[in-house]
């Protein structure tokens, strides 16, 4: 049924018993499962609308480090953006300082590696 549950509850520590749903339970569960799937789809569509139409209209780029909240009765949305952006990729929040400049974690590693001379091997002089 669910391999994740089998891993979470190993047979050497847990007993596993399988039961059958009644027809009425299956009907109810299928209805609620369909509603849950529609809710997930609606949430994805809502996020796409906010990120694809609303943000570009106000000249704000979408970032995984930002957030959007909205209030339909007021007709407003609020965008939370980092105060300091990564100097290299300009898409993530600048959280790591290197040589007086802010970078996201990934770019900080890349910049540090670019600035350092290659290490000499044992056979190199």
Give 79-101 pLDDT, tens digit per residue: 999 999 999 999 999 999 999 99
Residue 124 has pLDDT above 60, yes or no: no
Mean of all residue pLDDT scores within the chain: 89
Residue 6 has pLDDT above 90, yes or no: no
Instruction: Detail the DSSP E strand segments found in 48-88.
Output: 67-71, 76-80
| DSSP H/E element including 103 | strand 101-103
Residue 125 has pLDDT above 50, yes or no: no
**Each residue's pLDDT tens digit, 27-62:** 999 999 999 999 999 999 999 999 999 999 999 988
* Cα 80 to Cα 83: distance, rounded to the nearest angstrom: 9
pTM: 0.61
Q: How confident is the model at residue 13 (pLDDT cuts 50, 70, 90)?
A: confident
**Residue 2, SS3 per DSSP:** coil
pLDDT given at position 115? 76
* Cβ contact 82:63 at 8 Å: yes
| Ranges of each domain in the chain | 1-61
HSE-CB of 32 using CA atoms within 13 angstroms: 6
Q: b/e string for 91-111 if b means 16 or more Cβ within 10 A?
A: bbbbebeeeeebbbeebbeeb
């Amino acid at each position: 049924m669910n391999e994740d549950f089998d891993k979470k509850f190993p047979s050497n520590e847990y007993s596993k018993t399988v039961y059958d749903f009644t027809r009425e339970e299956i009907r109810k569960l299928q209805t609620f499962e369909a509603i849950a799937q529609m809710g997930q789809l609606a949430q994805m569509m809502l996020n796409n609308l906010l990120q694809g139409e609303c943000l570009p209209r106000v000249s704000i780029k979408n970032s995984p480090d930002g957030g959007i909240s909205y209030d339909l009765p007021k007709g407003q949305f609020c965008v939370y953006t980092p105060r300091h952006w990564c100097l290299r990729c300009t898409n993530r929040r600048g959280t790591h300082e290197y040589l007086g400049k802010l970078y996201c974690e990934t770019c900080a590693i890349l910049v540090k590696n670019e600035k350092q001379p290659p290490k000499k091997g044992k056979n190199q002089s």
